[in-house]
Every structure is written in structure tokens, then in C-alpha cells.
Amino acid sequence: MRRQKKKSRHSKHPHNRQYKDRLWRMIFNNKEDLLQLYNAINHTDYQNPDDLEVNTLEDVFYLSMKNDVSFLVGGTMNLYEHQSTFNPNMPLREVFYFSRLYEGYVADNNLMIYHEKRVRLPKPKYIVFYNGTKNQPDSMELKLSDCFENTDNEAPCLECTATMLNINYGHNQELMKHCRRLKEYSIFVQCVREYIQSESSVEDALEKAIDTCINQDVLADFLKKHRAEVTNMILTTYDKDLYEKTLKEDAREEGRKEGMEYLNQLNKYLLKAKRYSDLERATEDIEYQKKLLKEFGIE
């Protein structure tokens, strides 16, 4: 009965990504840490956390600076969001977020959008902090136009761009250097992942990960204060079987992509050499296909 109860508790929230999303928001709910992140992203040097205006739009931080003159005359409207799974549809979400924000901005500032005078608006900036298990570059742009079914070369009348930053351990080291909290967060998540792979239970893995990070002064103040809350958060949202299954699926998908690249390369060589019979045979004979890959040095 005890085991059954434990399993039920862990299966309430089957998506392992939830604990990282919640943990990230919990850590950066602190204004000082969020200001450090803001400065690192924008290459600014604001010192007073009280000048940072923070609002939450669903699970997204909406940031501005009270004393930032550039913001007051139409500077930047910042949205920060954490994602533990790669999502190419983030720019579409961005459209929804910013349309609501601009609607509120126009109303709050009594802007006359039907007059001949052009209104001044803050420039949108949408940053997605990615912490998933799939390999992704340090930085990449996701564009709304990639979602459009466009059959011609005409530019769309609407475009939105999300900048996705990979914050897994080892990525974006320059950014991490300027934001210690972000670096510590990435180390903690990596530590949890490694102990979960080596320990027999998630509980033991968390105990060791938290102890290790505290001893190495990684999120030490945060983990000492919120240890029970962090532990409970991960235990109630973590499913080890699903995590391992996800890793295997990711590895298989990467393998399929890599395999397709090799086969495409082989097909190009065979077509260029006009070896059509070899090309046809390779589609049906796996061993012959391997032989051809070795012949052309594709390994």
C-alpha cells in the first residue's frame, strides 16, 4: 500500500518540465536576482532593485524600469519565460502576450490611436530561457513567419521574434558570468539530473543534490531557506520513468536525424557518380548500405 501511494503522488503531474519551470520562477521572484538577470541580458548596470517593475502575465515575467527614461518614451517592454521543452510556437504566444500588454499600455497612458499624431510605444523584447534535454544552440531566433503557410515570396504583414537562450549547464557562459544566480540554477538542475541517474530513488537523489549544492555554495542561501518546498515541488511533479523514456525518445530522434543526414549524403554521392543500381540496392539492403557508407567515408 505504501508503494502504491507513493506512485500515485508522483503521477499527479506527469510532466517533468513543471518542476524546473516553477523552480525558475520561484528563484527569480526575488527582485535582486531578477535585476541581475535583467542587467546581464540588456548589458545595463542598474543597482536599485526597487526600480524594477515586475508583473506576472500567466507564467511570464513582464519587466520595466521605473527610472528608465528610454522606457518612458517608448523604450523596451521585456517578457521573460522559462521553457523546459522546445516549443517552436513561442512567437505565436508572443503575439497574444504583447497584444494584451499594448492594449493595457494604450489605455493606461490615454494614447489617442485614432489621431493623426503617431503614438510612442515601448519596443517588445521576448526572451525564452530553455532548459530542456534536447540539444539546442546557445541562442536561436524563433519567428512567427515560420508558422505561416506561405506559397509566395511576399513578406508577411505580421512578424514576431522570440530569442531562445539555452541555459543548460555549459551553455551561454558569458551570460552566466554576468548572472551568478542563473549559473547556479543551471548547475543545480544538472546536479539533480546526474543524481537521479545514479541513485535508486528520487528522494535520495534530491537529498544528495541539495546537500552537494549547499556545500559548494550553489544556491546555498535559497536551498537552505526553501529546502522542504523545493524537495516537495520536485517530488510532486517528477516521474522518473517518464524522464528516462523522454531521454530515450530524444536519443532516438537525434539518431534518426543523424542517420537521415548520412543517407542523404550517400545518395548525393551515388547520384553524382551515376551509380543508380547501387542507390536502388542500398534502399533494400542495410548491410550493403553500411558498406557504401564506409566506402565514401561517411561515419
- What's the pLDDT tens digit per position in 166-205? 999 999 999 999 999 999 999 999 999 999 888 888 899 9
Distance, in Å, from the CA atom of 90 to the CA atom of 282, rounded to the nearest integer, reads: 40
The full 3-state SS of 145-174, as one line of letters, equals HHHCCCCCCCCCCCCCEEEEEECCCCCCHH
Reply yes or no on whether the pLDDT at 12 is more than 50: no
Would you say 138 and 172 are in contact if contact means Cβ atoms under 8 Å apart?
Answer: yes
Distance, in Å, from the CA atom of 57 to the CA atom of 63, rounded to the nearest integer, reads: 10
Would you say 259 and 299 are in contact if contact means Cβ atoms under 8 Å apart?
Answer: no
DSSP class of residue 11?
T
DSSP class of residue 119?
P
Would you say 52 and 38 are in contact if contact means Cβ atoms under 8 Å apart?
Answer: yes
Reply yes or no on whether the pLDDT at 9 is more than 50: no
- Grid coordinates standing for 54? 515586475
For residue range 91-143, what is the model confidence (pLDDT) as tens digits? 999 999 999 889 988 998 899 999 899 998 888 899 999 999 888 999 999 99
Contacts of 58 (CB under 8 A, 6+ apart): 97
Reply yes or no on whether the pLDDT at 154 is more than 90: no
Question: Most confidently modeled of 72-81, 101-110, 269-278?
Answer: 101-110
For residue range 241-267, what is the model confidence (pLDDT) as tens digits? 545 555 555 556 556 666 677 777 888
- The structure's pTM equals 0.72
